[in-house]
Structure 1
Amino acid sequence: MFNNSQSEMVTNSFSKLASDLEKQELEAPKGSSAQVYSQLLAIYLYQNDLCNAKYLWKRIPQSVENANPELFAIWSVGQKMWKRDLPGTYQSLAAYSWSEPVAKIMTSLEEKVRERAITLISQAYSSLSVETMMSMTGLSNEKAVQVCQNRGWDVQDAGKMIIPQKPPPPVTPQTSSEDQLYKLTEFVSFLEI
């Protein structure tokens, strides 16, 4: 899994690539190549920009769609993400052998979906079975338990039950009493006008 700085670098490089691909798509008079559409669709999924992914899918010419099965495979991942079907998303990601320009994006997408699922688990569950963890992360039993242990989560009942640690609450900036009084005064003054 990526650490924060690696994830940020990947996100920045994909954002720049997406911008370049969007420009290529706009400048192509009769539609772009299948590679442009494939990469752009995959990047939209990576960015969790499902609306733009759906609109891109609708604008891809039918002839390009029919000639490129990889586009259908990428869109099947997008459909699973749209429906929030995590197990289906992992199955769709693993079901296709991605071409070189798309493989890195799809691998990063899988890691990002998995990281979002782990974050969701830590926020939503007080305990869960390993099977549920495996389903939501697409990991094998051993890897799921290992990920939990690496995060400091408690694994009980001989590896059958997981108790995630809640993430620390967000730090809210403290405002002084004077600042609060000033804001209240401004608000009341606004209402009196």
Structure 2
Amino acid sequence: MDLSAVQAALSDKSYSTLAPLCDELLLQAASRGTTTDEWPHAVHLLAHLYLNDLNSARFFWKSLPQEVKDASPELAAVWRIGQCLWNRDYAGVYTAAQGFEWGPDLADFTTAFLESYRQRIFQLLTSAYSTISVADVAHFMGMSEEDSTNCMFRIPPS
């Protein structure tokens, strides 16, 4: 199976293209009866989370055979992030992402995911609250109170 396009997207940090690319390649492989033993399941799952497409992520996870889930600690770690997102465990997302030793394919991708997630949460907070405590900002953004205070003072008001 030729996964060079997936590797190229990872190398180019074109993370937003990965979910549709992986979906298409997996469909092509299935239609040809090609084995997917070397499929980058963790990358595929994280790609859906990166796009905030939780329904597709859940569907992909549920479609995986149990032996695939059991064979990859990295895939299980990505799924823990997905579970936190699904349950709106904001702080848990950061804990799950930072609490695993990611391999070379996912280290930068996970960092980019966290940056994107933190930006989405910040936008949500600024649109939802006219005032919010520093402790709450720190909780939602997975930062210390000091870091969240510094972050708030660097962002220009809209």
Q: TM-score category by the smaller chain?
A: 0.7 to 0.9
**Deviation per residue, 1:119-146 (Å, 9 max, x gap):** 1111111222211111010112222111
Runs of 4+ in structure 1 deviating by more than 4 angstroms, as ranges, are none
Q: Is the Cα contact below 8 Å between 1:34 and 1:68 reproduced in 2?
A: no
Give the Å deviation of 1:36.
1.5
Moved more, 45-54 or 119-128: 119-128
Counterpart pick for 2:128 among 101, 124, 128: 124
Counterpart pick for 2:153 among 149, 154, 171: 149
Pair 1:16 & 2:17 matched? yes
Q: How well do the aligned residues superpose, as a CA RMSD in angstroms? A: 2.0
**Which runs of 5 or more structure 1 residues have no equivalent in the other structure?**
1-8, 153-164, 168-193
Q: Which protein has the larger Cα radius of gyration, Structure 1 or Structure 2?
A: 1
Give the Å deviation of 1:80.
0.7
Q: C-alpha distance in 2, partners of 1:34/1:126? A: 49
Calculate the TM-score normalised by the size of structure 1.
Answer: 0.68
Counterpart pick for 1:64 among 68, 76, 79: 68
Calculate the TM-score normalised by the size of structure 2.
Answer: 0.81
Match of 1:93 in 2: 97
Percent identity reads 32
Higher helix share: 2
Q: C-alpha distance in 2, partners of 1:34/1:138? A: 33
Question: Which of structures 1 and 2 has the larger relative contact order (alpha carbons within 8 angstroms, sep 6+)?
Answer: 2
Q: C-alpha distance in 2, partners of 1:55/1:79? A: 13
Write the mapping of 1:14-53 to structure 2, written as runs, cut at 5 A.
14-26=15-27, 27-28=29-30, 29=33, 32-33=36-37, 36-53=40-57
